[in-house]
């Protein structure tokens, strides 16, 4: 009963203290795709992902009702960091849904145009506003409506103390006439948050320490979705040893705060979802290492297969460069790619459950099989072109000046001059289940089988490879079928032997595949990349670093005359794949179980 009364009171007092319009709210999830497209179209960094911003304390004066309700302590504002465009998760400031949506669009335009981070906050936002309105004058009516709606809900200067009133008047003048205010007058409290501007003091992201990074969870596959897709502020601290006294440092007000260290191991699919309410309520998450990193890494290394049980390495490895996006330079001989072949892969026939689909694909792909055709209008050939001869004779008899444009036809053999290399992601994330019966790796295996059956019908030259990685010195490159080898029972045995590997250092795998494909003498050279998530690895090959290295590798492939194309089952692929492959350089398969049937048909469309 007490909880019910407390919940009712909290809802009532919060509703009175905070003037929000939840029925007119717009969620970032509803416009996330539009946000990414507009941000890049308006000149923003195409490598940034769009995510929800964390609420930060603003320190402004609160009303009596807000202090009673304990509200208006934090607010969600917009800011940029090296990897993310952080936007409010929900906008419900205005009583009209169209205004809340226009506010999202304005913030995206402002973030895409924002520059000169060294300027004071009020000058920086005024300058960005002027640049947006100068580049896109069509946004001026929307901006005026947003300013009018925002000024209506901001505190009136007449009701504020003198210094705070001067601050508020300066902000109002800057909103109505951007560029007219040089500085913000000082006051006891910071001003109320300006939701039309970017964050005055964006939270700083603490970079990960190389060598102390624990294995991160893989994205993609059919893993459980994270409904709260936002980045939290964090700091690295020392692990408490539990020897410090408690009563000496006890403060009564700390009873109601979250301040507990919890050991969190890497979760598995069978684990129950942890209760993260405490994390959501904290201003900053403190992450500590418990001193067991070496032991846990040792246990991980012991899980690696022995040399006798592992795949057979081919040669001593190949050194390849890697792009360091912070240094903006290519690091020579930074990675080692190790070609490998399955050691005990027994030759086998096509699996029985794929036989019917393979027959249907072969019949469909027979239309692409090279065949002989008659070519008319030739000056030399095996037979006369009767249509051309009749037309020539008729023109001569009628007195026209007829020209002999080719009176023969020739029997020519039309060949499909193309080569395709399919590179499959065999990382640890492919061990996730897409259904009760199959995992991602099973879907990839069936896809390789059917893809090979279809292309063997057309006679097109193709090669199959897989890859996974364990840091830059161990990039495993699995040879399934090379261009000079025929598709046979031995190749099917290698495909059947594929299994989930480790991580996804995609840039090096693409570079090595590009070198192989570039050696093929063909007019069309297609590099198909089959993956289920973003590039990542145990070391610094995470986030923006891995994405930018992959992007440079794809650009290098295009310079070689190749055509890279990505096929993914990652539902979040649309957030980063346009930056990697371009708008028309990828496709997202929404139902992973349909990939074996979809990929051969996609290949037919790409090469017709």
* Nearest alpha-carbon partner for 543 in 83, 164, 190, 213: 83
How confident is the model over 542-581, as pLDDT tens digits? 888 999 999 999 999 999 999 999 999 988 888 888 889 9
Q: Quick one: tokens of 469?
A: 């990685």
**What's the CA gap between 309 and 561, in Å, rounded?**
39
**Residue scoring higher pLDDT (262 or 121):** 121
Mean pLDDT along residues 65-90: 86
Flag whether pLDDT at 457 surpasses 90: no
Is 15 in contact with 4 (CB distance < 8 Å)? no
Flag whether pLDDT at 297 surpasses 60: no
pLDDT level of residue 193 (50, 70, 90 thresholds): very high
Is 43 in contact with 113 (CB distance < 8 Å)? yes
Flag whether pLDDT at 498 surpasses 50: yes
Flag whether pLDDT at 437 surpasses 90: no
* Nearest alpha-carbon partner for 557 in 521, 511, 607: 511
pLDDT level of residue 486 (50, 70, 90 thresholds): very high
Sign, Cα dihedral of 281, 286, 287, 288: negative
Sign, Cα dihedral of 315, 316, 317, 321: negative
Is 43 in contact with 112 (CB distance < 8 Å)? yes
Q: Quick one: tokens of 517?
A: 């494909």
Mean pLDDT along residues 289-303: 47
What pLDDT is attached to residue 68?
78
Please provide the average confidence, as pLDDT, over all residues in the chain.
82
How confident is the model over 528-551, as pLDDT tens digits? 999 998 899 988 898 889 999 999
In terms of residues, how long is the chain? 608
Conformation bin of residue 495: beta by default, left when phi > 0, alpha when psi is -120 to 50: alpha
How many CB atoms lie under 10 A from the CB of residue 564?
27
pLDDT level of residue 291 (50, 70, 90 thresholds): low
Flag whether pLDDT at 213 surpasses 60: no
pLDDT level of residue 206 (50, 70, 90 thresholds): low
How confident is the model over 121-152, as pLDDT tens digits? 999 999 999 999 999 999 999 999 999 999 99
Q: Torsion angle, CA of 586/591/595/599, rounded to 10 degrees?
A: -40
What pLDDT is attached to residue 124?
92
Pairing of strands 74-75, 79-80: unpaired
What pLDDT is attached to residue 9?
65
What pLDDT is attached to residue 306?
64
**What's the CA gap between 374 and 386, in Å, rounded?**
13
What pLDDT is attached to residue 224?
44
What is the per-residue burial (b if ≥16 Cβ within 10 Å, else e) of 89-118? bbbbbbeeeebbbbbbbbbbbbbbbbeeee
What pLDDT is attached to residue 289?
60
Flag whether pLDDT at 329 surpasses 60: yes
How confident is the model over 511-528, as pLDDT tens digits? 999 999 999 988 889 999
Which residues pair with residue 57 across a beta bridge?
A: 74
**What's the CA gap between 570 and 531, in Å, rounded?**
8
**401 DSSP 8-state letter:** -
What pLDDT is attached to residue 243?
52
Backbone angles phi, psi at 315, to 5 degrees: 85, -175
Sign, Cα dihedral of 501, 503, 506, 511: negative
Instruction: Find how far residue 93's CA is from the centre of its chain.
Output: 30
What pLDDT is attached to residue 237?
63
What pLDDT is attached to residue 49?
84
What pLDDT is attached to residue 302?
40
pLDDT level of residue 241 (50, 70, 90 thresholds): low
**What's the CA gap between 515 and 463, in Å, rounded?**
13
pLDDT level of residue 208 (50, 70, 90 thresholds): very low
* Nearest alpha-carbon partner for 405 in 425, 387, 424, 382: 387
**Residue scoring higher pLDDT (287 or 182):** 182
Flag whether pLDDT at 221 surpasses 70: no
**What's the CA gap between 253 and 238, in Å, rounded?**
24
Mean pLDDT along residues 444-455: 94
Which residues pair with residue 439 across a beta bridge?
A: 433
Is 522 in contact with 530 (CB distance < 8 Å)? no
Q: Quick one: tokens of 224?
A: 């459980």
What pLDDT is attached to residue 245?
47
């Amino acid at each position: 009963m007490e909880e019910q009364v407390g919940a009712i009171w909290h809802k009532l007092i919060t509703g009175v203290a905070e003037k929000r319009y939840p029925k007119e709210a717009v969620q970032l999830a509803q416009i996330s795709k539009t946000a990414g497209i507009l941000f890049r179209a308006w000149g923003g960094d195409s490598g940034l992902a769009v995510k929800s911003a964390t609420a930060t304390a603003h320190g402004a004066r609160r009303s009596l009702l807000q202090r009673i309700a304990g509200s208006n302590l934090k607010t969600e504002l917009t800011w940029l960091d090296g990897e993310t465009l952080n936007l409010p998760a929900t906008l419900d400031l205005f009583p009209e849904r169209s205004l809340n949506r226009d506010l999202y669009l304005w913030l995206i335009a402002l973030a895409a145009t924002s520059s000169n981070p060294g300027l004071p906050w009020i000058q920086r936002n005024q300058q960005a506003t002027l640049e947006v309105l100068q580049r896109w004058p069509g946004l001026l009516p929307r901006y005026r409506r947003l300013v009018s709606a925002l000024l209506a809900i901001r505190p009136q200067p007449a009701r504020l103390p003198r210094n705070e009133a001067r601050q508020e008047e300066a902000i109002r003048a800057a909103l109505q006439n951007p560029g007219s205010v040089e500085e913000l007058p000082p006051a006891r409290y910071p001003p109320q948050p300006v939701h039309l501007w970017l964050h005055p003091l964006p939270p700083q992201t603490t970079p990960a320490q190389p060598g102390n990074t624990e294995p991160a969870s893989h994205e993609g596959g059919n893993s459980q979705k994270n409904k709260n897709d936002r980045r939290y502020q964090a700091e690295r601290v020392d692990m408490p040893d539990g020897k410090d006294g408690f009563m000496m440092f006890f403060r009564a007000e700390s009873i109601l705060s979250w301040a507990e260290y919890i050991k969190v191991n890497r979760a598995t699919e069978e684990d129950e979802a942890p209760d993260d309410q405490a994390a959501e309520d904290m201003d900053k998450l403190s992450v500590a290492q418990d001193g067991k990193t070496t032991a846990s890494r040792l246990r991980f290394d012991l899980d690696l297969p022995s040399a006798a049980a592992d795949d057979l390495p081919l040669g001593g490895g190949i050194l390849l460069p890697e792009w360091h996006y912070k240094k903006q330079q290519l690091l020579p001989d930074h990675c080692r790619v190790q070609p490998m072949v399955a050691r005990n892969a027994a030759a086998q026939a096509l699996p029985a459950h794929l036989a019917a689909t393979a027959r249907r694909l072969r019949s469909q792909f027979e239309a692409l099989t090279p065949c002989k055709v008659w070519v008319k209008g030739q000056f030399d050939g095996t037979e006369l072109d009767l249509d051309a001869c009749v037309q020539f004779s008729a023109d001569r008899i009628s007195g026209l000046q007829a020209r002999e444009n080719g009176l023969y036809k020739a029997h020519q053999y039309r060949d499909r001059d193309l080569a395709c290399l399919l590179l499959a992601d065999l990382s640890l994330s492919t061990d996730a289940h897409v259904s009760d019966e199959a995992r991602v790796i099973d879907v990839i295996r069936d896809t390789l089988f059917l893809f090979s059956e279809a292309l063997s019908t057309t006679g097109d030259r193709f090669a199959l490879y897989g890859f996974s990685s364990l840091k830059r010195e161990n990039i495993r490159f699995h040879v399934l079928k090379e261009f000079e080898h025929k598709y046979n029972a031995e190749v099917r045995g290698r495909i059947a032997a594929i299994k989930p590997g480790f991580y996804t250092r995609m840039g090096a795998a693409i570079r090595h595949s590009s070198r192989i494909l570039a050696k093929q003498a063909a007019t069309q050279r297609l590099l198909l990349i089959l993956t289920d998530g973003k590039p990542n690895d145990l070391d610094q090959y995470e986030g923006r670093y891995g994405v930018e290295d992959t992007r440079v590798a794809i650009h290098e492939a295009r310079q070689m005359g190749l055509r890279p194309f990505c096929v993914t089952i990652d539902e979040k692929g649309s957030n980063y794949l346009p930056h990697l492959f371009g708008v028309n350089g990828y496709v997202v398969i929404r139902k992973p179980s349909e990939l074996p049937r979809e990929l051969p048909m996609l290949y037919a469309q790409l090469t017709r």
